[in-house]
């Protein structure tokens, strides 16, 4: 089971510029938590991390922004875009030795690019 409730706000849908902001949270089942964040006894011996058996629940809280600019002045044609995102892992997801000892509860993502709409 996975659930990803979010709330977003879009600006400029009819202009050559689009800006969007979104807040989100991710809820995950125990099987997801165990597969991605758990450390089995065998895995602990191989990795040096402590064994860990996580529960499911609230995985992360975060926000992201998106901005685009049309190079052709309309909705069709070439555009440039940028995306920035930040989320923070919560609960057992943040307490996992994979995150605590070998990673970070703070998750950051950024991207820029060029697109074409037809």
Question: What's the structural domain count of the chain?
Answer: 1
> Quick one: pLDDT band at residue 15, thresholds 50, 70, 90?
low
Residue range(s) defining the domain that contains residue 51: 2-117
d(CA 85, CA 80): 17
Q: What is the pLDDT of residue 76?
A: 84
Give the residue-averaged pLDDT of 10-39: 85
d(CA 70, CA 72): 5
Candidates 59, 9, 16; CA nearest to 34 is: 59
pLDDT at position 6 over 70: no
pTM of the model: 0.80
């Amino acid at each position: 089971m996975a659930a990803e409730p979010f709330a977003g706000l879009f600006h400029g849908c009819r202009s050559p510029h689009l800006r969007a902001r979104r807040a989100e949270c991710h809820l995950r089942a125990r099987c997801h938590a165990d597969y991605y964040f758990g450390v089995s006894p065998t895995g602990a011996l191989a990795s040096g991390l402590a064994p860990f058996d996580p529960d499911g629940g609230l995985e992360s809280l975060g926000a992201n922004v998106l901005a685009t600019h049309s190079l052709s002045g309309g909705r069709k044609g070439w555009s440039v875009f940028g995306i920035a995102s930040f989320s923070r892992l919560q609960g057992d997801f943040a307490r996992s030795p994979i995150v605590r000892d070998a990673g970070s509860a703070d998750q950051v993502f950024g991207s820029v690019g060029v697109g074409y709409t037809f």
